Amino acid sequence: MSDDLRSFLAKATAKVVALEQQPQDRWGLAAIRGRLVELSARGATATLTTAIELVVEAQTTGEPVAWIALASGTFYPPDVADCGVDLAALVVVRAPDAITCARAAERVLRSGAFGLVVIDYAASKPELSTAHQGRLVTLAQSHDAAVVCLTEKSHDASSIGSLVSLRVEALRKRSSNGEFDVTLNALKDKRRGPGWTRARKLRGPAGY
């Protein structure tokens, strides 16, 4: 084998490895379908922003979305609309407690009509039984949907349940010109392994 051929093959292999390591392939609606996902952080969080990105992505591809939240949740329609969400096409459900939120999510998923269900637990400390988690996972897999739970906790706190397939910490840091550096850190990933990160710049909605 010539030196030129060896060099070519080495470069090609390096490119393949680099592509396999791209975190862009590990986050997004396609990457989280059929999974129970927890999106968490504490302090300068970007959980809401990151969840809204998923909503916009789903709506762009024609997937119906349901947002289930406690009465004290963080859902604020003007900010959501400012980020590009079609409010007229978004189903919003208010529930009195964490268990009712989970049951509402099960009911929505069972219809088979939704590609993404967001459960906003950010204003509470949810405790989901294994039975509730199991049903959410089964329904997500059966209907090729993604279930994303928003929680407020530090990175070293335990997840909402053992059946969570992916847990991502979403943090933001103000940079300049009204922009933010948003970083996603995979704390748990049963499919691809934890430890990957994804960083990008975003412009926050008014009031951020």
pLDDT of residue 126: 81
* Mean pLDDT (whole number) for 80-99: 93
Model's pTM, two decimal places? 0.83
Q: What is the pLDDT of residues 106-119, one digit of tens each?
A: 999 999 999 999 99
Q: For the chain, which residues make up each domain, given as ranges? A: 3-203
pLDDT of residue 102: 95
Residue 166 has pLDDT above 70, yes or no: yes
Higher pLDDT, 71 or 168: 168
Domain covering 3-203 assigned CATH 2.60.40.420 in the classification: no
pLDDT of residue 6: 54
Q: What percentage of residues in the chain have a pLDDT greater than 90?
A: 62
Residue 177 has pLDDT above 50, yes or no: yes
Higher pLDDT, 184 or 181: 184
| 151 — pLDDT class (breaks 50, 70, 90) | very high
Which H or E element spans position 152? strand 146-152
Contacts of 155 (CB under 8 A, 6+ apart): 40, 41, 169, 185, 187
Residue 133 has pLDDT above 90, yes or no: yes
Question: CA 123 to CA 112: how far, in whole Å?
Answer: 28
> 3-state class of 146 per DSSP?
strand
pLDDT of residue 76: 83
166-174 and 36-41 strand pairing: parallel
pLDDT of residue 11: 47
Q: φ, ψ for residue 101 (rounded to 5)?
A: -60, -45
Six-digit token string for 65: 């979305």
Q: What percentage of residues in the chain have a pLDDT greater than 70?
A: 83
